[in-house]
């Protein structure tokens, strides 16, 4: 049979063992949000080290990430306040990144990165004390927190702290 011979040696698709908890592994799509209670105990010692005296703003965010995926949250920043953002991930995440960008971009321009972590590995620290990110505007404003797994996959979460 010529049709059978034409498909010899062609790999056949293998059905997935289990559907992943995330939308896709392509770069940029959002990760599936999950209950952040699992990351809170991991964030607490980081906060004592990198944001002493600061208080959590809002609730932590967490997601189940494939490489390249992001999870976003909004936070209101206030004049005269100082901010640190901390992130932590499962050991299967080789690099976790966090950026702060304006929620409302300037028309015609790419959204500037206000602050970003400079760390490598499954922990991300944006603006550690004493160099926290100071909101310089005379009025408060909304900022987007973008959490990205740039290498690896797994559970990751983040929390914004204010002092």
Q: How far apart are CA 123 and CA 73, in angstroms?
A: 18
Question: CB under 8 Å to 74, separation ≥6 — which residues?
Answer: 103, 142, 143, 144, 145
pLDDT at 20: 32
Q: Report how far apart, in Å, the C-alpha atoms of 24 and of each of 32, 95, 130, 155 are.
A: 10, 18, 38, 15
Count of other CB atoms within 10 angstroms of residue 138: 7
Q: Going residue by residue through the chain (163 aa), what tens digit of pLDDT does each one get?
A: 555 444 454 444 433 333 333 333 334 688 888 899 989 999 999 999 999 999 999 999 999 999 999 999 999 999 999 999 999 999 999 999 999 999 887 788 777 899 999 999 999 999 999 999 999 889 999 999 999 999 999 999 999 999 9
* Of the candidates 51, 67, 56, 29, the residue with the CA atom closest to the CA atom of residue 156: 67
Q: How far apart are CA 71 and CA 60, in angstroms?
A: 12
pLDDT at 151: 97
**Three-state DSSP class for residue 137:** coil
User: Hey, which residues does 144 pair with through a beta bridge?
Assistant: 74, 101
- How big is the CA angle at 50 (ends 46 and 54), to the nearest 5 degrees? 95
Q: How far apart are CA 116 and CA 99, in angstroms?
A: 4
Residue ranges of domains in the chain, CATH in brackets = 28-162 (2.60.120.380)
């Amino acid at each position: 049979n010529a049709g059978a011979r034409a498909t010899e040696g062609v790999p056949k698709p293998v059905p997935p063992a289990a559907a992943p908890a995330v939308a896709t592994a392509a770069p940029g799509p959002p990760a599936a949000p999950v209950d952040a209670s699992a990351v809170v105990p991991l964030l607490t010692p980081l906060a004592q080290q990198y944001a002493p005296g600061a208080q959590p703003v809002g609730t932590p965010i967490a997601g189940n990430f494939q490489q390249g995926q992001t999870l976003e949250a909004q936070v209101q920043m206030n004049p005269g306040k100082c901010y640190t953002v901390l992130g932590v991930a499962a050991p299967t995440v080789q690099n976790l990144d966090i950026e702060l960008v304006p929620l409302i971009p300037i028309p015609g321009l790419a959204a500037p990165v206000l602050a970003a972590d400079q760390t490598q590995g499954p922990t991300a620290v944006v603006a550690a004390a004493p160099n926290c990110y100071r909101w310089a505007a005379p009025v408060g404003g909304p900022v987007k927190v973008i959490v990205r797994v740039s290498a690896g996959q797994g559970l990751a979460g983040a929390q914004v702290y204010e002092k």
